[in-house]
Each structure stands twice: as C-alpha cells, then as structure tokens.
Amino acid sequence: MSEDILLDIKRDYVLSRLRDGERIDGRRFDEYRPIEIHTNVISKAEGSALVKIGNTQVVVGIKLQPGEPFADTPDRGVLITNAELVPLASPTFEPGPPDENSVELARVVDRGIRESEAIDLTKLCIEEGSKVWIVFIDIHALDDDGNLMDASALAAIAALLTTTVPAERFGVGEDFPLPVRDLPVSVTSLIVNDHILIDPSRDEVSVGQYFMTITTDQDDNIVAMQKSGSYLLSEEKFYELIDVSIARAREIRQLLKDV
C-alpha cells in the first residue's frame, strides 16, 4: 500500500472522528497530551531541558559568551535562537541548512521570550557599548509527533530557568543565575472546519495546515501570535481560541513552576 493511500486513510479516519465530536486518541478538543519536563540534561551547557508532549520530544541547550551589543541597545544583552530539525526526528525533515520550518520555529520561540521580556537583558551588560552577554538558545527536535512549537517554547523557558551565567570562566565577575522574570507559554491549535484542536498530534496534522500559536505571559497578556495557513475565523471562534489558549497556558505554567 502506497504512502499516499495510507495518508488518505489516516486523513479520512481523523475527519470521521471529528464529525462525531471526538479526537482519535480520545482527548477533549482543548486537552494536551501528557507533558514531561526534565531539566539539566546537558552537562556542558549553561542550562538545558528536555520536554515531551506525548511522543514529541525536544531538547534545548543554553550557552552564554561575552560579545558586542547591538548599536541601538548598548546596555542590553543579546538573545539568539536557533532550531535544528534533523531527519532523525521526522521523515519530512531534510538534511542541510535551516529551512523555512526551522526558521519559523526559532522565530516564534524567540518572539515569545523577547516580547514577554522574560529575560532582563539590562542585567546582562558587562561594559556598556562594548561588552554584554550573548544568550544562545539552541533547539533540537528529537521526535516530531506533532506540535513541535509548544514543546520547543516550553523547553526553551525551562532551560533558561536552569541557566547560570558563567562570569568566572570569562573573568568578568562571579557566576549568577540568568535573570528570568517571566514565564511565557505557547499554545498551538489546529483549526479544522469549525473545530479547535489544542496540541495537534502528527496524525491530526494530516487533515490540514491551519494553525494558530498564541503565546501569553504570566499575567495572561498575549505577547505573540503566529498564524499558519490561509483561513478565516469568526469573531466568536477567535475569542474562544484566545480564552482556551490562556487557560491551557496557565496550567502549563504551573507545571513548569512545580518542576
């Protein structure tokens, strides 16, 4: 049986269950798969975390080094986010330089951290105008079973929470915890007809590419949104999407605090 036929069968099965008001794995439409957060998983990184959402797995490592600030922010540290999607994680990923998917993933994670001001970058200034700390966030997908976006964003903030600035190593003072002051959480939904599916699995993704990722801070403010695909939402559905995203983000944020 060809791959295309299998994909069609899978798509028809997902859609038939949705018509019956059900998801193929029995979850509610607004329910996440089980979430696991493991920190300090990379000994040579300044901070790290492994996050599992169902069978989706992402590891994030944090590295810091002194460097020059941007000209327009001479007294603020620098944040750089990269994502690597290797073929080992999914048959749809290809070897080579970052493609549009990895660029989008890194951009959305970066935007949530940056716009929420999760890191106090003013405390990462060593010498104004000449030397600041550069924070590198490296995202590595280990297994893509759907919703890499939320797993990556959660792993990034979990890794940042465990990060120590290695000042002693570079002779610029004593080590200190990375100044993290907010906990942005991303919640991704798949829009299928009139349904909103939180945390879509890979099988569910087979029915469409209409996604919305909403990132909120710890005060429930929306700090970033990412829309993929061309579709329209009614005002009622849009506010429903916002409400459920905020509610799920609160739960995930509490899980992060507990860990």
On the question of pLDDT at 167 being above 90, the answer is: yes
Query: Considering the entire predicted model, what is its pTM?
Result: 0.93
What integer pLDDT is reported at residue 3 of this predicted model? 55
Please name the residue ranges forming H helices in the chain. Answer: 3-19, 100-115, 148-161, 202-205, 235-258
* Amino acid present at 72: D
Query: Quick one: average pLDDT of 210-239?
Result: 92
Label residue 20 by pLDDT band (50, 70, 90).
Answer: confident
Supply 99's token pair. 């493609």
Question: Domain ranges in the chain?
Answer: 3-258
**Per-residue pLDDT tens for 94-145?**
676 677 888 999 999 999 999 999 999 999 999 999 999 999 999 999 999 9
Angle between helices 148-161 and 100-115 (to 10 degrees): 50
Label residue 6 by pLDDT band (50, 70, 90).
Answer: low
CA angle 183, 186, 189 (to 5 degrees): 160
**Per-residue pLDDT tens for 130-140?**
999 999 999 99
On the question of pLDDT at 154 being above 80, the answer is: yes
What integer pLDDT is reported at residue 229 of this predicted model? 78
What integer pLDDT is reported at residue 209 of this predicted model? 76
**Per-residue pLDDT tens for 7-19?**
677 788 888 888 8
Residue 182's region, left for phi above 0, alpha for psi from -120 to 50, else beta, is: beta
Q: Domain 3-258 is classified in which CATH homologous superfamily?
A: GHMP Kinase, N-terminal domain (3.30.230.70)
- The residue written with tokens 């005060």 in the block is 219
| Distance of alpha carbon 9 from alpha carbon 72, whole angstroms | 54
- The residue written with tokens 């049986």 in the block is 1
**DSSP calls for 37-74:** EEE---TTSSEEEEEEETTEEEEEEEEEEEEPPPTT-T
Residue of 41, 152, 137, 140 lying closest to 88 (CA atoms): 140
Residue of 167, 187, 199 lying closest to 243 (CA atoms): 187
Q: Which has more confidence, 191 or 230?
A: 191
Query: Quick one: average pLDDT of 31-46?
Result: 97
